[in-house]
Amino acid sequence: MDDWAADGLARLARGEHAALVTLLAVEGSTPREAGAWMVVGPEDQSGSIGGGNLERIAADQARRMLATPGGPAWAVQDYPLGPLLAQCCGGRVRLLIERLGPTDQAWLAEARRFAAEDKPFRRRLRLGEGDRCCALAPDDCAAGEAITLNGRPAGARGERPAAGDEISLAHATLRPRLALFGAGHVGRALTAVLASLPFRVSWYDSRAEAAAPGLVIAGPEDLVRIAGADREHVLVMTHDHALDYALVAAALRGATPHVGLIGSKTKKARFLSRLRAEGLDEAALGRLLCPIGLSGLAGKAPEIIAVAVAADLLIRRQAAQPAAAREAALAGL
């Protein structure tokens, strides 16, 4: 989710000053991709544009803006990372700093709503002499450049944005829907890892004694019904192998493309044999991953399994992104 909107709103609601810093364009090797953000307050910040000297100097510049009442509402800054900041990646970035104030609350609230509903949108900024106006509109964000200047792809060098120019920024966060069944040690460890990752997680268990923040307690029949609903991921790791089987069968009879099951190869073989006997075809069975998670990570500690599962989910999420989005993300490595 684009948490910059929620964070900016929260700071304004507390009467604090804040600035939004966005990477407009990158060139060469850079620590983050274009569109990366951070929200800077007088004493703290959230988000990241890559850390190191770049982030420190950008935050200092944002704080100088906040410390100048009545000053410009925006600024554009270029940073060659090697020559100016002594960062070994050696690329180049162009960033935009925007002062956030009470007049920004309406569009920030709209941005937060779009993001909360996983609806892509485009933000259009009209730069003025020291001020700027902002408008939001729904946008599929699948075609065209993510960030443009006067209708052309934004660049990290050359003519910088100036008063009278229009900057357009696409915001589209792919947050696959994920149903996690089981609140044992692994389920709890995985929930903690996923909390900071871009997935819409629904967490379920059938045991009242397993109650935890964010966990939905429901009977086995209800859980089976939920497992059969269409979504991108179903992960099964309950305390009961019979319930595990019922959940896996329901998910494979539905359209969920990735069904992960905690357990051994023997458990998988037994489940597959029974599922075939019940009439599931090989295409459906091929959607089952067991043992769960990314292979190659040794260890059975809940925390290690959680990391392996999260890594596998991130790889699947990346593969589902449009090619242009994948290339842009990888360009920042």
Q: Residue 320 has what pLDDT?
A: 80
Q: Residue 163 has what pLDDT?
A: 95
pLDDT band, very low/low/confident/very high, at 92 (cuts 50, 70, 90)? confident
Q: How far is CA 19 from CA 25, 38, 40, 100, in A?
A: 18, 8, 5, 5
DSSP 208: G
Span of 60-64, 89-93, 97-101, 259-263 with lowest mean pLDDT? 89-93
Spatial neighbors of 54 by CB under 8 A, at least 6 apart, are 31, 79, 81, 85, 87, 93
Check pLDDT > 50 for residue 326.
no
Region 249-262 average pLDDT: 96
| Percent of the residues in the chain that have a pLDDT greater than 90, as a whole number | 67
Beta strands in 172-278 (DSSP E): 177-181, 200-205, 215-217, 233-236, 258-261
Spatial neighbors of 95 by CB under 8 A, at least 6 apart, are 21, 22, 23, 24, 49, 58, 76, 77, 79
Q: Residue 85 has what pLDDT?
A: 54
Region 68-82 average pLDDT: 87
Domain(s) of CATH 3.40.50.720: residues in the chain: 177-320
pLDDT in tens, 216-243: 999 999 999 999 999 999 999 999 999 9
Region 259-276 average pLDDT: 96
Rounded-to-integer distance, Cα 324 and Cα 34, Å: 12
Check pLDDT > 60 for residue 331.
no
Q: Residue 117 has what pLDDT?
A: 83
Rounded-to-integer distance, Cα 16 and Cα 63, Å: 12
Angle made by CA atoms 215, 220, 223, in degrees to the nearest 5 = 55
Rounded-to-integer distance, Cα 222 and Cα 40, Å: 44
- pLDDT averaged over the chain? 89
Q: Which two tokens stand for residue 9?
A: 């709103």
pLDDT band, very low/low/confident/very high, at 91 (cuts 50, 70, 90)? confident
Q: Which residue has the higher pLDDT, 108 or 332?
A: 108
Prediction pTM value: 0.71
Instruction: Give residue for tokens 């990477």.
Output: 23
Residue 24, exposed/middle/buried by CB under 10 A (0-12, 13-18, 19+)? Answer: buried
pLDDT band, very low/low/confident/very high, at 87 (cuts 50, 70, 90)? low
Highest mean pLDDT out of 38-47, 144-153, 168-177, 289-298? 38-47
Nearest by Cα to 239 from 168, 286, 186, 163: 186
**8 Å CB contact between 27 and 78:** no
Q: Residue 272 has what pLDDT?
A: 97
Q: Which residue has the higher pLDDT, 215 or 141?
A: 215
Nearest by Cα to 195 from 170, 215, 217: 215
Is the domain spanning 177-320 CATH 3.40.50.150? The answer is no
Residue type, 24: L
Q: Which two tokens stand for residue 166?
A: 């229009």
